[in-house]
């Protein structure tokens, strides 16, 4: 196996693979609460690094999230594992890189379950530790045994109960994909027997209007690209569906629905530890927030959706506080990928963005391999354990979520082991809890076309794979794809992704390239460095 010579790296005073002893985890540490914390993962959709007020947003206020940051920790160098949803979510819940498994790209609404019941998930981690577990909101990881063969009028199997969730109230895919109904514990919620549900991603159902054929029916939101198939609630979608009746969601109520369900769950489960995966539709398209948030920002529907997201966070925090649980609840707030303005609907996101920078000044965005693709807000709040008000610049990746949670529940790693998942690292616990100077030495990310990039300390490598310079189907985003290898260096703490230093630094280029190959070919590669 080729080894990296760390001495060639221009970094000072970093002990790359310092491993924390995992004896007993948080639960038995002195000074920390003896009780296991509740854990709430708040997973926003398409929320960029610059989209929250506490990260410099202009034109929208996010007081509830600002409070979490000022009473907890705010990370400035945290990454989703991919620059789109399904692969990032797959990695978050399983600790496995998405590029190791086929079929983890942006999933259709009739995709089969992508996480198989045999896989070990973060929900399983919590179940083992005696938690009650629940998932709310956007799922986007498939349901049922076979793609396109689900019977939406019956119980879907496998579903979330088969991968560790005791309770679930979810959207099968995204709000812009059919079926447009909530699914509660594997069954359509509020099922309307007078309107059986049929779904196809291949053909329309006879007599059903589409956004393409009947644009006059798009009374709520018109599409800008794509999204011209079935019409639900006056909005065109991806895919075709028929039926649903009173079970069909109204987009303006999605945030209220999932928040109410999560708050109910908190109230009903206040006596025992719980894990909540709260995955919002906000601020994904179609952005159609409730009327009470209209005009909350100066940026139109996209900014108003951020305000709505902030409200959801506030409701969850209030519910925890009311139950006396806030002190010993670990809340993590982050996003599945970077931001996009026009992602297929005429919501005026581009026209109204003003001087706000959704990426916080980074290059690229959703779909891309530049920093804007995967660098996301990341806030950790846990009053019982974490000192408040800190900002951390260490490298953090969502690939470690399962492992860090395992460490928190006190799960013991076998001697020499650092991972309960294929690719995560439980020794990142310290970094997630705010230990000064801690963080990953490296992180791997995947762009929409599967180009991988690797960050190692102050360097970033983007593998040469080729592809269009701009996202080709509508969003005005630079992809970062190139046939040439790209190597960028951090300057004053931030990568300058305009200066490709590959030619000038062949040794460094080789080091990063070899490390990426090592990770690609060997799941536990990084653990063998020590």
For residue 50 the two structure tokens come to 């610059």
- Contacting residue, 26, 46, 332, 509, with ligand NG6 by CB under 6 A: 46
For residue 495 the two structure tokens come to 């990568």
- Residue 294 CA to residue 282 CA, distance in Å, equals 14
- Applying the rule CB under 5 A, the residues between 467 and 526 that interact with Ca ion are none
- The CB-of-88 to Ca ion minimum distance in angstroms stands at 7
- Decide which of ligand NG6, Ca ion, none touches 403; Cβ closer than 5 to 8 Å per partner kind: none
- Residue 306 CA to residue 273 CA, distance in Å, equals 29
CA nearest to 432, candidates 400, 473, 458, 476: 400
Size of the site for ligand NG6 (CB under 6 A): 19
- Contacting residue, 39, 40, 42, 46, with Ca ion by CB under 5 A: 46
- In the three-class reduction of DSSP (H, G, I as helix; E, B as strand; rest coil), residue 494 is classed as strand
- Decide which of Ca ion, ligand NG6, none touches 176; Cβ closer than 5 to 8 Å per partner kind: ligand NG6
- Applying the rule CB under 6 A, the residues between 92 and 111 that interact with ligand NG6 are 106
- The CB-of-83 to Ca ion minimum distance in angstroms stands at 9
Report cis status (omega within 30 of 0) of the bond before 286: yes
45 binds Ca ion (CB under 5 A): yes
**Helix or strand (DSSP H, E) at 184:** strand 182-184
- Residue 350 CA to residue 390 CA, distance in Å, equals 33
- Contacting residue, 64, 84, 297, 409, with ligand NG6 by CB under 6 A: 84
- Applying the rule CB under 6 A, the residues between 321 and 360 that interact with ligand NG6 are 337, 343-344
CA gyration radius for the chain? 22
282 binds Ca ion (CB under 5 A): no
> Of 364 and 430, which has the nearer Cβ to Ca ion?
364
Residue nearest to Ca ion (CB): 85
**Residue 21, burial from CB neighbour count under 10 angstroms (0-12, 13-18, 19+):** exposed
- The region of 43-51, 210-218, 299-307, 519-527 touching Ca ion under the rule CB under 5 A is 43-51
> Of 287 and 418, which has the nearer Cβ to ligand NG6?
287
> Of 413 and 446, which has the nearer Cβ to ligand NG6?
446
Beta bridge pairs of residue 75:
378, 392
- The CB-of-95 to ligand NG6 minimum distance in angstroms stands at 20
- Applying the rule CB under 6 A, the residues between 367 and 426 that interact with ligand NG6 are none
- Applying the rule CB under 6 A, the residues between 173 and 192 that interact with ligand NG6 are 174, 176
- Contacting residue, 62, 66, 83, 85, with Ca ion by CB under 5 A: 85
- Contacting residue, 336, 400, 403, 478, with Ca ion by CB under 5 A: 336
- The region of 53-61, 189-197, 223-231, 246-254 touching ligand NG6 under the rule CB under 6 A is 223-231
- Residue 184 CA to residue 175 CA, distance in Å, equals 16
Is residue 200 within 8 Å of residue 208, measured between CB atoms? no
- Residue 217 CA to residue 251 CA, distance in Å, equals 16
Residue nearest to ligand NG6 (CB): 226
280 binds Ca ion (CB under 5 A): no
**Beta-sheet strands, E only, within 239-328:** 240-242, 274-279
- Residue 327 CA to residue 93 CA, distance in Å, equals 25
- Residue 178 CA to residue 456 CA, distance in Å, equals 40
- Applying the rule CB under 6 A, the residues between 501 and 520 that interact with ligand NG6 are none
> Of 209 and 474, which has the nearer Cβ to ligand NG6?
474
3-state SS string for 209-258? CECCCCHHHCCCECECCCCCCEEECCEECECEEECCHHHECCHHHHHHHH
- Contacting residue, 62, 337, 427, 486, with Ca ion by CB under 5 A: 337
- Residue 61 CA to residue 303 CA, distance in Å, equals 9
> Of 119 and 337, which has the nearer Cβ to Ca ion?
337
- Residue 95 CA to residue 527 CA, distance in Å, equals 15
- Decide which of Ca ion, ligand NG6, none touches 205; Cβ closer than 5 to 8 Å per partner kind: none
- Applying the rule CB under 5 A, the residues between 194 and 253 that interact with Ca ion are none
For ligand NG6, the binding residues (CB under 6 A) are 45-46, 84-85, 106, 140, 174, 176, 225-227, 238, 284-285, 337, 343-344, 473-474
């Amino acid at each position: 196996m080729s080894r990296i010579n760390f001495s060639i790296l221009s970094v000072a005073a970093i002990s790359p693979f310092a491993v924390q002893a995992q004896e007993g985890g948080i639960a038995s540490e002195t000074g920390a609460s003896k009780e296991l914390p509740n854990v709430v993962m708040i997973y926003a959709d398409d929320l960029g690094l610059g989209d929250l007020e506490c990260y410099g947003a202009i034109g929208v206020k996010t007081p509830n999230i600002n409070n979490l940051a000022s009473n907890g920790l705010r990370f400035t160098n945290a990454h989703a594992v991919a620059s789109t949803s399904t692969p990032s979510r797959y990695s978050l819940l399983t600790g496995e890189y998405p590029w190791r498994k086929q079929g983890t790209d942006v999933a259709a609404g009739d995709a089969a379950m992508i996480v198989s019941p045999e896989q070990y998930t973060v929900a399983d981690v919590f179940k083992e530790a005696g938690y009650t577990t629940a998932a709310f909101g956007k799922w986007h990881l498939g349901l049922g045994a076979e793609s396109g063969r689900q019977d939406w009028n019956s119980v879907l199997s496998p579903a979330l109960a088969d991968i560790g969730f005791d309770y679930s109230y979810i959207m099968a895919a995204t709000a812009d994909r059919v079926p447009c109904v909530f699914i509660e514990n594997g069954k359509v919620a509020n099922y309307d027997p007078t309107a059986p549900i049929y779904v196809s991603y291949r053909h329309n159902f006879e007599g059903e209007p589409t956004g393409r054929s009947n644009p006059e029916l798009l009374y709520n939101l018109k599409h800008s690209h794509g999204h011209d198939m079935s019409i639900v609630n006056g909005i065109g979608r991806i895919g075709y569906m028929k039926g649903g009746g009173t079970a069909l969601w109204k987009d303006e109520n999605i945030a209220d629905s999932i928040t109410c369900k999560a708050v109910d769950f908190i109230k009903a489960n206040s006596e025992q530890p719980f894990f909540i995966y709260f995955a919002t539709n906000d601020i994904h398209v179609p952005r159609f927030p409730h009327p009470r948030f209209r005009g909350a920002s100066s940026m139109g529907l996209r900014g108003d959706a951020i305000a709505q997201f902030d409200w959801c966070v506030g409701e969850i925090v209030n519910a925890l506080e009311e139950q006396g649980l806030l002190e010993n609840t670990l809340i993590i707030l982050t996003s599945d990928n970077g931001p996009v303005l026009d992602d297929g609907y005429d919501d005026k996101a581009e026209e109204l963005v003003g001087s706000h920078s959704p990426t916080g000044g980074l290059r690229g965005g959703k779909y891309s391999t530049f920093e804007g693709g995967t660098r996301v807000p990341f806030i950790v709040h846990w009053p019982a354990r974490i000192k408040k008000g800190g900002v951390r610049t260490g490298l953090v990746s969502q690939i470690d979520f399962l492992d860090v949670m395992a460490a928190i529940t006190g799960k013991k790693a076998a001697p020499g082991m650092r991972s309960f998942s294929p690719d995560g690292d439980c020794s990142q616990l310290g970094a997630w809890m705010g230990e000064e100077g801690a963080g990953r030495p490296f992180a791997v990310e995947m762009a929409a076309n599967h180009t991988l990039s690797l960050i190692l300390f102050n360097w970033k490598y983007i593998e040469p794979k080729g592809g269009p310079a701009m996202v080709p189907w509508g969003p005005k985003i630079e992809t970062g794809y190139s046939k040439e290898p790209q190597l960028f260096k951090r300057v004053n703490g931030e990568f300058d992704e305009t200066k490709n230093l590959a030619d000038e630094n062949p040794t460094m280029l080789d080091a990063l390239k070899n490390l990426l190959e090592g990770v690609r070919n060997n799941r536990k590669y990084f653990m063998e460095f020590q």
